[in-house]
Chain A
Amino acid sequence: MITPLIQFQKVSKAFGNNQILKEIDLSIYRGEITTIIGKSGVGKTVLIKHIIGLLAPDSGKVMFEGRPLFEMKKSELKDLKGKFSYVFQGSALFDSMTVFENIALPLKEGARLPKEEVKKRVYERMEQLDLDDNVDRKYPSELSGGMKKRVALARALVTNPEIVLFDEPTTGLDPILRNAVHNMISGYQKKFAFTGVIISHEVPDVFYFSQRIAMINDAKIIFEGTPEEIKQADNPIIKQFIGGYQNDNCKKMGEL
């Protein structure tokens, strides 16, 4: 049996009296894209923040290659973090830094690469993400929402991570850019074979590039399986969620 790359075992998390996650079990496998879907505010972001150690569970274990994170030494955790990248929902770009400085930051401060190597890798990623050369000196406040997302993606991918966590990477993008980002994630995943964990509402788009889907509802994982399996699911909450989005999309198509 294949050991999952990342595994949640009975993970619970509460903020005050608000129970966000309740005994969550979830497996994420190497080289696959796992998409976590669910209504807004059900704790999807809280869930993936546990993977990278931004949050610690109240109870239960988050394991990497079969080893619980809390058992790891500080140096091991640091090495492990180096394998991850995180694309934040709101991009989380540094507003006092230019686009170039933002993308270069993990290479300069994290990996501490020489200047020339940093420059080469930053411009390479910018080109791959259709960010013009004249954007490099702009500040995030001078960019459109879509452009900010691309800069955030460039920053996440510039370190060639093994695991990339995407928190709603296409929110606020127009349909063309949304498809471009989906294609890019899918294309990069094939090219670099990274493991992707994506939080997304883009049903049914996510079914085309995800190998696994997990749905969270009422602080619990109510479904975990392939896109084909979720389409066959009998659970009315899942049906309503998928159907609701599909209907929304149909309505939008009709309006067009």
Chain B
Amino acid sequence: MTAIIKNIGAKSIVLFEEMGRIAIFSIKGLFHMFSLPLQPSKIIHQINFIGAKSIFIICLTGGFTGMVLGLQGYYTLVKFGSEGMLGAAVALSLIRELGPVLTALMVIGRAGSAIAAEISIMRISEQIDALETMNISSIRFLMGPRFAAAIISFPLLTALFDVIGIFGGYLTGSVLLNIEESVYFHRMESSIVMRDINEGFIKSILFALVVITICCYQGYYTHLKREGHGAQGVRLATTSAVVLSSVLVLVVDYIITSFLLSKP
């Protein structure tokens, strides 16, 4: 019995230590986003990698998500004779929920895994140690631009996802299933308020912070893992970055949604 309690205690300490390290890492990353002197060229380079290069996949998934929502929504609403509400249903689902979540999940798969792999290789090949010996803060040099790029890119990609998704819903709802175009857009316009847009925006910013913190952290501290050496270390860092950040996006989404919905 004592052994079990000891084991739980030891694991809890490790867990809390790790959570503390993640929190400190995140604060440092945020602080170094705009610490002087600014690193505009590195931030632009990262925006290109995290943001611009994700546009195609965001358009693709956004389009198909909107089209599926259009189909599913139509066949559900038609049962109640409310197919005219399709535009509002598609837009609200996308703006408040699916847009930020799916954008985050897509960026995790495309850029987050690459960031974790890149940083863990830098750790294993002592490039991060080399930075420290040169009196260059590795967090500022490597994480600052990535944090800034993620926080700039996520809301823009989410907005793009929403727009393309709404257009996808229009394609299935109006073009394929013959809902009046004016009804689709009018219902959408009259149902969406600024609060919905803000909710999506807040979520995308928080997801950006979660994703970039976890992906960078997993790479940066690869060497602290029990099997964090060589190719195996890179594999572990990448896998845990993708799994953990995806799960955390969904957990944070639930917490934020319940918090925002409870507010009048």
Residues of A within 8 A of B (CB): 49, 52-54, 78, 81-82, 84-86, 88-90, 92-95, 105-106, 109-110, 112, 159
Report the stretch among B18-26, B125-133, B239-247 that lies at the interface: B125-133
Those of B98-143 within 8 Å (CB) of chain A: 122, 125-127, 129-130, 132-136, 141
B127 touches A110 (CB 8 A): no
Residue from A78, A82, A86, A159 within 8 A of B130 (CB atoms): A86
Those of B182-203 within 8 Å (CB) of chain A: none
Chain B interface size, as a band, is 10 to 19
Residues of B within 8 A of A93 (CB): 127
B135 touches A92 (CB 8 A): no
Residues of B within 8 A of A105 (CB): 134, 136
Query: Could you say which of B37, B134, B136 has the most chain A C-beta atoms within 10 Å of its C-beta?
Result: B134
A92 touches B136 (CB 8 A): no
A81 touches B135 (CB 8 A): yes
A109 touches B125 (CB 8 A): no
Main secondary structure of the interface of A (DSSP, over half): loop
Residue from A78, A85, A94, A95 within 8 A of B133 (CB atoms): A85
CB proximity of B122 to chain A, nearest CB, Å: 8
Instruction: Known pairs A81-B135, A105-B134, A110-B134; list 10 more (Cβ under 8 Å).
Output: A53-B132, A85-B134, A86-B129, A88-B130, A92-B126, A92-B129, A94-B130, A105-B136, A109-B134, A112-B37
Complexed CA–CA distance, A85 and B133 (Å):
7
Residue from A52, A53, A88, A112 within 8 A of B126 (CB atoms): A88
Complexed CA–CA distance, A91 and B134 (Å):
14
A55's nearest neighbour on chain B, judged by CB, is B129
Complexed CA–CA distance, A222 and B185 (Å):
82
Q: A52-B133, A109-B136, A110-B136 are in contact. Are A92 and B125 (CB under 8 A)?
A: yes
Complexed CA–CA distance, A93 and B126 (Å):
9
Complexed CA–CA distance, A95 and B134 (Å):
17
Contacts A/B (CB < 8 Å), 19 sampled: A49-B129, A54-B129, A78-B135, A81-B132, A81-B135, A82-B135, A86-B129, A86-B130, A86-B133, A88-B129, A89-B126, A92-B126, A92-B130, A94-B122, A94-B127, A95-B125, A95-B127, A109-B141, A110-B136
B135 touches A54 (CB 8 A): no
CB proximity of A218 to chain B, nearest CB, Å: 24
B136's nearest neighbour on chain A, judged by CB, is A109
A106 touches B126 (CB 8 A): no
Complexed CA–CA distance, A84 and B132 (Å):
11
CB proximity of A146 to chain B, nearest CB, Å: 18
CB proximity of B53 to chain A, nearest CB, Å: 16
CB proximity of B254 to chain A, nearest CB, Å: 38
Complexed CA–CA distance, A226 and B133 (Å):
28
Complexed CA–CA distance, A110 and B136 (Å):
5
